[in-house]
Structure 1
Amino acid sequence: MPLQRLAKSAEFLRNPRAADAAAGIKNLQQLIQLRWMAVIGQIFTIEVASHSLRLAIPLQPMLLVVGCLAVFNVVSLLRLRTGVQVRNVELFLALLVDVAVLTTQLYLSGGTSNPFVFLYLLQIALGAILLRGAYIWSMVGITTACFALLANYHLPLELPHDLHQGLSSLYVLGLLVCFVLNAILVVIFITRISLNLRERDARLAAARRRRVEEEHIVRMGLLASGAAHELGTPLSTLAVILGDWAHDEELMGDEVLGEDITEMRTQVQRCKSIVSGILLSAGEARGEESEQTTVCKFVDALAEEWRTTRTMPAFSYRNDFGEDTPMVSDTTLKQMAFNVLDNARDASPQWVELVITRDDTAEAPALCITVNDAGPGFAPQMLEHLGEPYQSTKQRPGSGLGLYLVMNVARTLGGSVTARNRAGNGEGSGAQVSIRLPLAAIALPRGHRPA
């Protein structure tokens, strides 16, 4: 499976609209929770007004309105579980339903003489946070119109005219309860909604940063692709010349010279493989095709190729993946592992370890590639800025891109890269870099077998 097709599985990470969608779903959740509180509060208020205060209110119609609100909330909950993006107009319509229910209850219980008429302010406050543009002012206009209509059209509610009694007055107590409800609900839900919006802004900022990083990678990819094209011809020429030398008995008769020629042919072949890998990752194959294989065969071949093309006194390899899984080998995946191994070899020339495991602890099984070394380890500032370009201890121009590219490839596949010092957080005991790739991103569909 070419890496370009795998990138589609993480397209939402690069789409800023995904942040708005996530915020919309969370905001709808807040409205559903608020509506359940409204259902419970209305039932309690109707009960107190009818039985405790013995006010003459139309009990059955008011309870029917509460039932309709509960049914609408159940429908909203089912809609939320679909995971479909919640648009601004949908939040506006949901708030209109709440306004309609409040207006109906106020119509049945005294209109503007009901102290709970000021709950309209809560609807306006929620609209100001959730909605945008004309929707906000539409909410203000609609609630104002409802208030005005209730002043002229409503069923009477007989409340004693005892405002002078202060808190002993039923109307004043109703105003106090309405004020407390407004204050508490505004603080709770506006705080939650503001948190959702801040999380959305953070995701948008991360998406913008990701886009800048990917543009940087594209520029480097174009440069690498151009360099690979330019290197192809001289490398082929060198391969032909070295092939001729390898068939020259006089040259191969010299033991030292013969070993040098053999080593040169190996390194030229390695350079050609790297060039082919660069071109393949850029979508320009040089005759090599992706092959169907299995995870174990892929990592075994990867370890063997790295072992034979590098001079390494001690290279430890352990494959604990377990039950094999069909997959399609991709040069980019191999190059990603080679980058980490090469970095470990630079830091620890005497010993490098490669460990392959399978992680079944999370929801999605994953392939874990772990590289250990016995070098100086990571400096604290490098661990803090892990994955940023040009973070390297090598004093060479352009160094520090290997791990940066590795992390971006892993992230594109929905995976992750972690790094730590092997003994605590201090330096000097070697480093460990772990790549975790979801099997769903690299494996063949279930039931498919390698050809």
Structure 2
Amino acid sequence: MTPSASILISGVSGWLSGARAAENANGPADAIARQNMLQLIHLRWIAVAGQVVTILAVHFSLGFKLPLVEMMLVLAALVALNLFSLLRLKRAEPLGPYDLFTALALDALALTIQLYFSGGATNPFTTLYLLHVILGAVLLEAWATWAIVALISFCFVGLIAFNRPIVASGLSDQAFFELFIMGMLIGVVLDALLLVTFVGRINANLRGHDARLAELRQRAAEETHIIRMGLLASGAAHELGTPLATLDVILGDWRRMPLFNANPELAQELEDMRGEVRRCKSIVTGVLQSAGEARSGEVRASTLRGFMDEVIGEWRTTRNDPNLIYETDLLDATPIVAESTLKQGVHNVLDNALEAAATTVRFRASVRGGWVLIEVEDDGPGFAASALEDFGKPYNSTKGRVGGGLGLFLVVNVLRKLGGSAQASNPPEGGARVVMQLPLSALEITRNG
């Protein structure tokens, strides 16, 4: 089989099964409705296949004379209904409140027509009506469920009054009764199997919907928390700007005083103080840039290798050159936007490694398959089990500090905003490892023309 033929068959198979028919959902509620419609479509395929086998077996093997042409036309109509339903799912228009009701009602009418041609109310497969009632109770609103009950009741009463009796040649009354009991048994077992299967799937869809909503609520709460932290940080940065500028001016005046010029030790301490003030001003500027409040230079271009070198260089300078092993196979040729929040996130991870009583911290940066991979390892005691379980949640810290545990929380959210993720683990050889990954396209500068 050629690859193109294989792709065509796979596409037709996926289309007929409805595996990709729910991709155009408009929100979580519409996604659930589409998944439930898919369950009805799958159930209808099973019904068509089962009826074909049953009708042919009863007609040719058991001696019952059935109107094959009429009954096969009903099955053809069910197939056409399924194909129409799949086309409906492929449209972007959301499913309305009447779509599932209409689908169940048409299935009930099709079953009624088949029963009409095969004995009416005396057909043992009338138990399949219960399947429609229970599915209606699970899938539909109250009014629609009662409408299905009314429809099925009307259809059953109609089958009592009108039907085409089936003729069995060569069967005694006892043999006919035994076949009737066997048909009832098959109908009840079939009801039970289908209900367990499809109601279970529908409940799984609902549980998945609830889990998704819970995840979205959690993410919204985390983002609200981050916004509040950002506002507090931005406000603090504004408030700190004036006293830091005042300190810088005062220290500059002191540097020209004879007392400090005459004492080299005091002069050196004064320069150290000025250096720390400049560092604080740089941090404040970085906070304002991250909040989008810098007056100039909000977007700064760099290269991926240059950005990583800058991240490590700044961290080494401000942490008294710790024992950090820096490994990378990055090239300078990839132009990117120097994302200050990503830099701060990497600094947070490195700070955590340094504070974990580690003697050596290893940093690796690489690009694999369009993803930027950043690995930070240390030879400390590793993460506690509770820290691994709640990795990335706010205030998940074992350091005992008030407000601790926000560093990794911010890292996870920064990466998530960039389309990436972070995972933590304890390697078998000891220590701790944090792997950060994000798509290169989130940073890369695309050149037009």
Category of TM-score, reference length = shorter chain: 0.7 to 0.9
Give the superposition deviation at 1:144: 2.4
Give the superposition deviation at 1:37: 0.9
Give the superposition deviation at 1:135: 2.6
* Larger mean Cα displacement after TM superposition, 114-123 or 300-309: 300-309
CA distance 1:100–1:250, shift in 2 (3 Å): farther
Aligned length: 424
Identical pairs, percent:
46
* Larger mean Cα displacement after TM superposition, 295-304 or 252-261: 252-261
Separation of aligned partners in 2, 1:166 and 1:247: 119
Quote the residue 1:306 is aligned against. Answer: 315
1:402 correspondence with 2:402: no
Amino acid aligned to 2:219: R
Quote the residue 1:351 is aligned against. Answer: 360
Q: Equivalent residue of 1:169, what SS?
A: helix
CA distance 1:100–1:396, shift in 2 (3 Å): same
Amino acid aligned to 1:305: E
* Residue 206 (structure 2) aligned to one of 197, 201, 204: 197
Give the superposition deviation at 1:231: 1.0
1:110-143 Cα offsets, whole Å, 9 max, x none, are 3323222221111111122222343322322222
CA distance 1:120–1:391, shift in 2 (3 Å): same
* Residue 387 (structure 1) aligned to one of 384, 389, 392: 392
1:285-324 alignment to 2 at 5 Å?
A: 285-321=294-330
Give the superposition deviation at 1:405: 1.7
CA distance 1:263–1:160, shift in 2 (3 Å): farther
Give the superposition deviation at 1:81: 5.7
CA distance 1:108–1:384, shift in 2 (3 Å): same
Quote the residue 1:416 is aligned against. Answer: 421
CA distance 1:323–1:116, shift in 2 (3 Å): farther
* Larger mean Cα displacement after TM superposition, 170-179 or 235-244: 235-244
Quote the residue 1:277 is aligned against. Answer: 286
Quote the residue 1:239 is aligned against. Answer: 248
| Alignment check: 8 A CA contact 1:159 1:171 kept | no
| Alignment check: 8 A CA contact 1:290 1:331 kept | no
Quote the residue 1:139 is aligned against. Answer: 148
Give the superposition deviation at 1:289: 0.7
Quote the residue 1:434 is aligned against. Answer: 435
Two-structure CA RMSD over aligned residues (Å): 3.2
| Alignment check: 8 A CA contact 1:239 1:265 kept | yes
5+ long unaligned stretches in structure 1: 1-16
Separation of aligned partners in 2, 1:253 and 1:305: 33
TM-score (normalizing by structure 2): 0.82
Separation of aligned partners in 2, 1:253 and 1:134: 94
Separation of aligned partners in 2, 1:321 and 1:150: 77
| Alignment check: 8 A CA contact 1:312 1:349 kept | no
Separation of aligned partners in 2, 1:22 and 1:321: 42
Amino acid aligned to 1:139: I
Amino acid aligned to 1:275: V
Q: Equivalent residue of 1:437, what SS?
A: strand
Give the superposition deviation at 1:403: 0.9
Higher relative contact order (CA 8 A, sep 6+): 1
Separation of aligned partners in 2, 1:138 and 1:378: 58
Amino acid aligned to 2:434: V
1:51-90 Cα offsets, whole Å, 9 max, x none, are 2233332212221221222233234345556687655543
Amino acid aligned to 1:351: T
Q: Equivalent residue of 1:408, what SS?
A: helix
| Alignment check: 8 A CA contact 1:276 1:286 kept | no
Separation of aligned partners in 2, 1:251 and 1:116: 104
Separation of aligned partners in 1, 2:413 and 2:172: 68
